[in-house]
Amino acid sequence: MAQQNKGVDLRSLPLDKLQMVGKSLEQDLENLTASYSGLSVAAAKFRTSRASLEAINDDNQGKDVLLPLTTSMYVPGKLADVSKVMVDVGTGYYVEKSIPDAQAFFDRKLEFLKSQSEAVEKQIATKNQQYRVLRQIAGEAQAKAEAEARATAGASSSS
Amino acid sequence: MSGLTPEQLNQLSADIESAMHEEQTAQVELNKLVQSRAGYAARLNENTMVKEEFDLLDDDARVFKLIGPALVLQDVDEAKQNVEKRLEYITAEMGRLDGAITAKEGVVQAAQKKVAKLNQKAYQMQLAAQKLQQMQNMPQEVQQKKINA
């Protein structure tokens, strides 16, 4: 919807149309901001997972750990196998990976999220710019409409 | 040529109301379709990423599926085929929805045109009535009574 306003001179639109375009821009901005923060949350998760891999090494083989069964309950355990981890690849599938492979997996995901975030960031900047221009034009149109209303009111009361 | 008998006026406002209702209903249906398409787009994304991961797997890789609280070992080829099939299904569904959305957009636009046309008609009738009033040059209250009668 918002793409249409690129070809149209905004100054030629009536005030209510301008407001409609503004609403749709606001909506777009809201959606983009939401997906941006969603991407940030996902990236943070992958970063944590990648950092956790650092602890899965030969030095820690056989050491005691506390396993979170839920976020508030832990059971003691031992690190039996430090050569492999299970990675969630999505839609309920998990893949057994070596530590370097798992690191590569998280790097891949982080790289992907980074490029997505940058794309969304650019879109947000463009929309913000469009929104600023629109607000300015809408403000001018509003002022003009009010001036005209005053003029006609003055004319009809004097006649 | 006032064209504004009370019956016609009532008929016109009823027409406008039903046309607006039609437009709203179509718009709601369109929104639903767009929403469900977005859901499929998200699933397509996730499944595409899983497929990309599966394509990178070594031949001896072990793939599990989370079923309830248990990880169940899967046959890798079977898992690949499953994702493939799901991608096909999702793509087909999205194609179907795209068609439905285009059709519904047409319905919404037609309904919008109808509303605009009726509003235009109402506006013109009003103008004609005003002209008639001015020509007859009656006091306002008498006019009002005549219209309301």
**pLDDT of chain A, 159 residues: tens digit per residue:** 444 445 677 788 888 889 899 999 999 999 999 999 999 999 999 999 999 999 999 999 999 999 999 999 999 999 999 999 999 999 999 999 999 999 999 999 999 999 999 999 999 999 999 999 999 999 998 898 899 899 888 776 654
Note whether B20 contacts A: Cβ–Cβ < 8 A: no
pLDDT at residue B4, as a whole number:
62
CB nearest to B53's CB, from A89, A92, A96: A89
pLDDT at residue B145, as a whole number:
64
pTM over 0.80: no
Domain boundaries, chain B: 6-148
What is the Cα–Cα distance from B98 to B93, expressed in whole angstroms? 9
Q: The domain containing residue A29 runs over which residues?
A: 16-56+83-149
Q: Where are the alpha helices (DSSP H) in A57-98?
A: none
SS3 A79: coil
Burial class (CB in 10 A: 0-12, 13-18, 19+), B143: middle
Residues 90-129 of B with CB under 8 A from A: none
Residue A61 in domain: no
Please provide the CATH number assigned to the domain covering B6-148.
Answer: 1.10.287.370
CB nearest to A90's CB, from B46, B62, B64: B46
Note whether A70 contacts B: Cβ–Cβ < 8 A: no
SS3 A38: helix
pLDDT at residue B16, as a whole number:
92
As a whole number, mean pLDDT of residues B16-22 equals 93
CATH of the domain at A32: 1.10.287.370
pLDDT at residue B21, as a whole number:
95
Per the listing, tokens 């005003």 go with: B130
Joined together, the tokens standing for residue A17 give 């149309």
With beta carbons under 8 A apart, name residues in chain B contacting A92. 65-67
pLDDT at residue A145, as a whole number:
87
Long-range contacts of A55-60, Cβ-Cβ distance < 8 Å, separation of 24 or more: A56/A82, A56/A85, A56/A99, A57/A82, A57/A99, A58/A82
Structure confidence by residue, pLDDT tens digits, B75-125: 999 999 999 999 999 999 999 999 999 999 999 999 999 999 999 998 888
What is the Cα–Cα distance from B43 to B90, expressed in whole angstroms? 8
Residue A138 in domain: yes
Residue A155 in domain: no
SS3 B67: strand
Would the CB atoms of B71 and A86 count as touching at under 8 Å?
A: yes
Residue A45: count of CB within 10 angstroms of its CB: 13
Would the CB atoms of B47 and A89 count as touching at under 8 Å?
A: no
Residue A43: count of CB within 10 angstroms of its CB: 17
Domain count of the fold of chain A: 1
Residue A154 in domain: no
∠ Cα A135 A138 A144 (to 5°)? 145
Per the listing, tokens 């085929």 go with: B81
Q: Which residues contact B108 (CB under 8 A, 6 or more apart)?
A: B23, B26, B27, B30
Greatest C-alpha distance within chain A: 98
Residue A70 in domain: no
Per the listing, tokens 């069964």 go with: A69
Q: What is the mean pLDDT of chain B?
A: 89
Would the CB atoms of A94 and B66 count as touching at under 8 Å?
A: yes
- Nearest chain B Cα distance for residue A141, angstroms: 23
Residue A156 in domain: no
